[in-house]
Amino acid sequence: MPRRVTRLWCAACAAVILGSAVPAVADDAAPPGAGRTGVPWQQLTPEQQRVLGEFHGRWDRLPPGQQQALQRGAERWESMTPEQREQLQQRTEHWRNLSPEQREEFREHAQRFRQLPPEEQARLREEFRRYRDMPPEQREQARKRWEEASPEERDAARETQPHNQDKRDRGEKKNR
């Protein structure tokens, strides 16, 4: 696929991904005439129209909540730096290459993460940031140690993490 087409496709996917992060489904459940208004195609900026070009032919048939979510996603795309756009394009390409089973597993992990308390989410983000910032060799060593660890060793490692002490004190099971 030519680079320009790939970039446009990724931009449209980004708009969909970013736009779907909002609860647009709730808008669609509202009864007709409940104050929902769509976004006319002509109201979109030229850049938003370019990013959302694949929706042009069916824009008027999209539910208003989805139109609004897509517009917000396109706005976020416009506000990104070239580096952020490149990173998102890479993640989108990676997502496209996942099998349906891998995508479902990812969705399940994301759902479990969203159900965690904000403090736990912040802790996990910080752990990931530290892992991501490791030199590649050190990251590879950590990954190999984890992959080679037995289930018991992995459980023991999870149990020694400070956030699990509170759960043990309360008699809760691990979130996995």
Per residue in 81-137, pLDDT (tens digit) is 999 999 999 999 999 999 999 999 999 999 999 999 999 999 999 999 999 899 999
Prediction pTM value? 0.50
Confidence of residue 27 (pLDDT cuts 50, 70, 90): very low
Asked whether the beta carbons of 88 and 14 are under 8 A apart, the reply is: yes
Reported as a single tens digit per residue, the pLDDT across 50-92 is: 999 999 999 999 999 999 999 999 999 999 999 999 999 999 9
Dihedral sign computed on CA atoms, order 173, 174, 175, 176: negative
113 neighbors 124 (Cβ within 8 angstroms): yes
Rounded CA-CA distance 52/57 in Å is: 10
How many residues can be counted in the chain? 176
